[in-house]
Amino acid sequence: MKTKFSGILTLFLALVVQLTFAQEKTISGTVSDENGLPLPGVNIIVKGTTNGTQTDFDGNYSITASTGDVLSYSFVGYTKKEMTVGASSNMSFSMAPDVTAIDEVVITALGIKKEEKSIGYAVQKVKGDDIAESNETNVVNSLSGKVAGVQVTNSSGATGSSSRIVLRGASSITGNNQPLFVIDGIPVDNSNYGTADNGGGFDLPNGAADVNPDDIESVTVLKGPNAAALYGLRAANGVIVITTKKGSTSKDKLGITFSSSASFENPLLLPDFQNSYGQGGNPFYFEYIDGQSGDGGIDESWGPALDVGYNFVQWNSYTVDGAPLPWVSKPDNIKDFYETGLTLNNNISFTGGNDKANFRMSLGLLDQEGMVPNTDFRRYNIAGVTSLQVGEKMNVSLNAKYIKSEADNLVTVGYSNANPVQQMMWGGRNVDWKALKDYKNLPLAPANTAGAGTPLNWNNVFQNNPYWYLDTNLNGYNKDRIIGGVNISYDIASWLTISGKTGVDFWKSQTRENKAKGSNDTPEGYYRVIDRTFNEVNSEILLSSAGNITEDLTYSLNAGGNTMYRKNDLIHAAAPQLELPGLYNVSNVKTGVDPIYGATYAEQKINSVYGFGQVGYKNMLFVDVTARNDWSSLLPVDNNSFFYPSVTVSAVLSDMFNMDKSTVSLLKLRGGWSKVGSTGALGAYRLQDVYQFAGDGWDGTNFVFLPSAINNPEIGPETTSGHEFGIDARLFENRLRFDMTYYDQTSEDLIVDVQLSSSTGSGSSLQNVGEMRNKGIEVQLGATLLKTSDWQVDLDLNYAKNDNKVVSLGDLETLVLGGQWSTTIEARVGESYGSIVGPAYERAPNGEILFNNGLPVIGGSKVLGNVTPDWTGGANLVVSYKNFRVNALVDGKMGGDIYSMTTTWGRYAGVLEETNQGRETGVVGQGTMNIGTAANPVYVPNNVVVDAKGYNQAAFSNSVAESSVFDASYIKLRQVGVSYTFPKKWLSNIAIDDVNLSVAARNIAFLYKKVPHIDPESAFSNSNGNQGLEFGQLPSARSISFNVNLKF
């Protein structure tokens, strides 16, 4: 490796020597685009010579030439410009876009802008306008359906929920499998620090959701390891490069934009409940005593028939002195629980500048009220970016973002009585939830019940009054974050620029869990606070050179280094029981109760050097080479260095063979090979075994224990290597656009806490094992179906099929990633990542379910499905007519399964519509029974009638998962929007330059789905082990937003 690297340096130095002979007079200047934004990568050549250069990141260039020489400036997508060198040594100007242009500029690794046609790997850009159009508050969600091979899963419709994004499938067993997010050149933390899983806790936004979508100029998705090779070990799952809007150099006046939107949300989907039978277990009688003993203590709906004239004593009979009340259905009781969510989003920005300095400042205010009562979320974004030209050779830019996020209450998810949906699924169908809402005026639950002292509920054993719970037991959150950086570049020579950059991502967050005395899960109250501090600093130096070797041969060469330092601190403390009610502070711990506390500090550092370069021939054949070496502090000192190379080729056939531009505007073949390393999920301090403090003492005595996980002093990095090939075509003057990529990448030496038999004394051992392979294709097809002076109709389709396979896990056959109840999500050898494994029905020899005494027989565990989808796709239609624009987006995910315990418990508890079946007549389960003996079986169709409750509780429970695993395929009408831009002539007499009004509906309807009762796009949070599992889903939000955008 060392020799390779010095080879590159030698080449670099050779160029230095060669090019320094041509000095005559130095011309410098800045090239900007039509909006006054700096235009990097513009090719500049002294006509008739090989003397050339390129503009740097800030559009600056300098070149040596003599008076009278003609400088030729070219950049794809812009009209070529030629200028003669005169007396002035400063030649700054803006280039005009070529209206017939078909190529785009994309921002690639390390923020380098490149012409799309010179790129040898799959890269896709989403424009800021498209992000804005989705009106999503989490930028990850706005990518859904837009980019081939990008799989987005929004956990739920609750405020503050996270979203997961995976490019080209999972590449790591235990790493987070999500791409690196880079905002304006600064890698930012996209982790989710929520506590949500199948058993409760609450979700928090993924880190990248802190970004204000209104600030985004564009998002570039670098999908494969080729694209990401330059970011090193953190980029094995791809990179999302977010570029925010910058100041303008062309306007001499202050530009102001203002946007405001109000969005209203309601549940897209609720389970189908039955409305024919009420609470209890006795089909003929019900009596509410205290909500604990008697029928009121049963949180199931196997009780008497509703709406047939019965009167029973019910939970609200206190209103009539304990007299019976009519036993009637409440079909809308669940729907009525949800409120209309409201999201207000206001943004204002100011831009300005001249040719020496420019700036943009923005302020964003997001205020959400959730559909679940008393849930909320707020985010305040302040961003500033400024760029300053110092003299002719130096450019300084500075950007800073401050983000404050907070919530007074985020809803609990999963199987927990803190999740309000739990008591919808374990519920009484006769209960009028609206009557529970005014809990302040309800009597208290009787003294001998679990909920004693709290407002009355329809059941006082398993659940509290849901409205009281949500108002009282708050999950609070706040986070203050600063993302900022400085970038200095200096032109050492006309062909050589050095730039330095330091970026900081710093945040502090706090989550608080308040639980009042009398809460079902914490009768003596509870309080926990978790404080986190995160700090990451990246410093980079990059030396860049670009120019012409001969008139036909261009080159660019870069060499640099980066050092990353990260510190992640966590301090938590809890009062497991409270002394005084209603005071939420850890010092308010009940006498005799040991507080729970703990702290972890984690530091890590990555040092890197890299070099990359491109050679272009006649602007039609490009070869790119990258090389990077990382040293990570997480790995053993003598084995902490790893090297990643990549090479890509792009051949523009349409130029090579002089194809007719009006027919074939662009035809490009590309291909590449790369290798990327990763430390996966490896945290700090995993090299040496330790003891741990238990964190909860015993009457003041501190306990120490031996942790279950064994560390490894010889752990090494994971590597992902692969190749990809693609073709890009633009036909009929860009009316038809086609991109296709095939990739095949393999990840090896995966870092895994390999599960051990407990009999070894340990639960797991840290090892490099196994191999996972992803291969697939991504297709983008775009067509301008109609284009007249008034009309334009564009349709863009994308499709991605990824074939993921766990090739090996060392000595293991399977590795458990997560689970709920008796079912696990596993990585299994020979299958796609995310097998759903759980107890299945016993089968008769004919393959049918075996019944015994009319009930299905439950056998052992087996693979019941797989979380990984077969393919994902989207279709985006945009119709413009004069100043109107209509857009519609449909996206879908086909294949993949989900284990929905909403079905399990909803059937067990008799609340779902299907449980109406056979209530009066009994149920004969479909299957086979043995009427012979065990030794000599005689199989006949099952004909034993059993009662509906017995059948449902045997066929659906935590003991059997098979009946609740469903195909998670869906196609959603994701978005429909209409916008209208006021004609300029209307605005000529007022101070407003631009007015745009729009209405957008999001998450509108399912066009196709198979899983009953729930939205298959669901997860407890965005982590690996929480995919493919569902219970008590907070419904996803269907929203409609009204937006105003003004430019002054």
Partner 1 sequence: MKKINLIVLLFIGLVFVSCDKDFEELNSNPNDPTSVPSELLLGSMIRSTGNVMYSTFNGGDMGSCWAQHFAKVQYNDEERYLPRESAIGGVWATLYESVAADANAMYDLAVIEENEVAQGAALTMKAYAFLLLTDLFGDVPFSEALQGATNISPKYDSQQEVYNGCLSILDNAMAKLDPANGNLDSNQDIMYGGDVSKWRKFAASLKFRALMRISAKDLRASEMQALVNSGLLFSSSADDANLVYLSAAPNANPIYESVVFGTRNEWKINSEVVERMDGSLGWPMDNRLPVMAQKNADGIYRGKPSGFQNVPNNDYNYANVSALGEFYLQPELPAVFLSYTELQFLLAEAAFKGYISGGNAAASAYYQAGIQSSFDDNEGAAMDTYYSGLIVFSPAIALEQIATQKWLALYSQGFEAWTELRRTGFPVLTPAIDGAINEIPSRYTYPVIEKSLNAASYNAAVSNLPGGDKLTSPVWWMN
Question: Which parts of 39-110 fold into alpha helices (H)?
Answer: none
Q: Which of residues 112-151 bind partner 1 (CB under 8 A)?
A: none
- 3-class DSSP state for residue 692? strand
- Who's near 658: CB < 8 A, 6+ residues apart? none
Q: Which of residues 749-778 bind partner 1 (CB under 8 A)?
A: 755-763, 765, 767
DSSP secondary structure letters along 805-858: EEEEBTBBSEEEEEEETTEEEEEETTS-S-EEEEEEE-B-TTSSBEEETTEEPE
DSSP secondary structure letters along 919-984: TTT-B--SSEEE-S-SSS--EEE----B-HHHHHHHHSBTTB-GGGEEE--EEEEEEEEEEEE--H
| Tokens read off for 206 | 């993924």
Based on CB atoms, which residue is closest to partner 1, 260 or 861?
861
* Separation CA 289–CA 912 (nearest Å): 25
Residue 708 makes contact with partner 1 by CB under 8 A: yes
Q: Which of 72, 266, 619, 861 binds partner 1 (CB under 8 A)?
A: 861
Residue 580 makes contact with partner 1 by CB under 8 A: no
- 3-class DSSP state for residue 211? coil
Q: Least Å distance between CB 355 and partner 1?
A: 27
* Separation CA 191–CA 566 (nearest Å): 13
Q: Which of 348, 694, 795, 973 binds partner 1 (CB under 8 A)?
A: 694
Q: Which of residues 46-75 bind partner 1 (CB under 8 A)?
A: none
* Separation CA 28–CA 61 (nearest Å): 5
Q: Which of 89, 607, 808, 996 binds partner 1 (CB under 8 A)?
A: 607
Q: Which of residues 156-215 bind partner 1 (CB under 8 A)?
A: none
Residue 917 makes contact with partner 1 by CB under 8 A: no
Q: Which of 3, 340, 658, 701 binds partner 1 (CB under 8 A)?
A: 701
Q: Least Å distance between CB 506 and partner 1?
A: 19
Based on CB atoms, which residue is closest to partner 1, 99 or 690?
690
Q: Which of residues 543-562 bind partner 1 (CB under 8 A)?
A: 543, 559-562
Residue 808 makes contact with partner 1 by CB under 8 A: no
Q: Which of residues 404-433 bind partner 1 (CB under 8 A)?
A: none
Q: Which of residues 277-336 bind partner 1 (CB under 8 A)?
A: 281-282, 289, 292-294, 297-298
Residue 585 makes contact with partner 1 by CB under 8 A: no
| Tokens read off for 257 | 């934009």
Q: Which of 473, 604, 998, 1027 binds partner 1 (CB under 8 A)?
A: 604
Q: Which of residues 617-656 bind partner 1 (CB under 8 A)?
A: 631, 633-634, 637, 640
Q: Least Å distance between CB 748 and partner 1?
A: 20
Q: Least Å distance between CB 308 and partner 1?
A: 21
Closest Cα partner for 776 from 679, 662, 873? Answer: 873
Q: Which of 155, 195, 314, 520 binds partner 1 (CB under 8 A)?
A: 520
- Who's near 270: CB < 8 A, 6+ residues apart? 334, 335, 1035
Closest Cα partner for 155 from 188, 194, 190, 189? Answer: 194
Q: In this structure, which amino acid lies at residue 125?
A: K
What is the distance between the terminal CA atoms of the chain, rounded to a whole angstrom?
Answer: 56
Q: Least Å distance between CB 867 and partner 1?
A: 19
Residue 498 makes contact with partner 1 by CB under 8 A: yes
Crossing angle for the helix pair 901-908 and 948-955, nearest 10 degrees?
150
| Tokens read off for 544 | 């860049």
Based on CB atoms, which residue is closest to partner 1, 132 or 812?
812
Q: Least Å distance between CB 477 and partner 1?
A: 25
Beta strand 939-941 pairing with 928-930: antiparallel
Q: Which of 1, 4, 9, 25 binds partner 1 (CB under 8 A)?
A: 9
Q: Which of residues 447-476 bind partner 1 (CB under 8 A)?
A: 449-450, 461-462
Residue 714 makes contact with partner 1 by CB under 8 A: no
Q: In this structure, which amino acid lies at residue 501?
A: K
Q: Least Å distance between CB 469 and partner 1?
A: 15
DSSP secondary structure letters along 996-1041: EEEEEEEEEEEEEE-SSSS-SS-BSSSSGGGBTEESSPPPPEEEEE
Based on CB atoms, which residue is closest to partner 1, 232 or 896?
232
> Which window, 130-138, 784-792, 926-934, 955-963, contacts partner 1 (CB under 8 A)?
955-963
Q: Which of 253, 321, 447, 811 binds partner 1 (CB under 8 A)?
A: 811
| Tokens read off for 835 | 């097998």
Residue 957 makes contact with partner 1 by CB under 8 A: yes
DSSP secondary structure letters along 136-182: -SSTTGGGTTTSTTEEEEE--SSTT--EEEEESS---SSS---PEEE
Q: Which of residues 1006-1025 bind partner 1 (CB under 8 A)?
A: none
Q: Which of residues 344-403 bind partner 1 (CB under 8 A)?
A: none
- Please provide residue 691's backbone torsions phi and psi, each rounded to the nearest 5 degrees: -105, 160
Based on CB atoms, which residue is closest to partner 1, 237 or 632?
632
Based on CB atoms, which residue is closest to partner 1, 518 or 896?
518
Q: Identify the DSSP state of 703.
A: P
# residues near partner 1 by CB under 8 A: 104
Handedness of CA 422, 425, 428, 433 (dihedral sign): positive
| Tokens read off for 693 | 């403090």
Based on CB atoms, which residue is closest to partner 1, 317 or 640?
640
Residue 710 makes contact with partner 1 by CB under 8 A: yes
Q: Which of 4, 14, 18, 20 binds partner 1 (CB under 8 A)?
A: 20
Beta strand 150-154 pairing with 163-167: antiparallel
Q: Least Å distance between CB 727 and partner 1?
A: 38
Q: Which of 127, 508, 590, 661 binds partner 1 (CB under 8 A)?
A: 590
Q: Least Å distance between CB 603 and partner 1?
A: 5
Q: Least Å distance between CB 314 and partner 1?
A: 17
Based on CB atoms, which residue is closest to partner 1, 143 or 766?
766
Residue 16 makes contact with partner 1 by CB under 8 A: yes
| Tokens read off for 747 | 């990840």
Based on CB atoms, which residue is closest to partner 1, 835 or 880?
835
- Who's near 171: CB < 8 A, 6+ residues apart? 177, 236, 237, 678, 720, 745, 747, 772, 774
List residues bridging with 362 in a β-sheet.
349, 383
Residue 93 makes contact with partner 1 by CB under 8 A: no
Residue 691 makes contact with partner 1 by CB under 8 A: yes
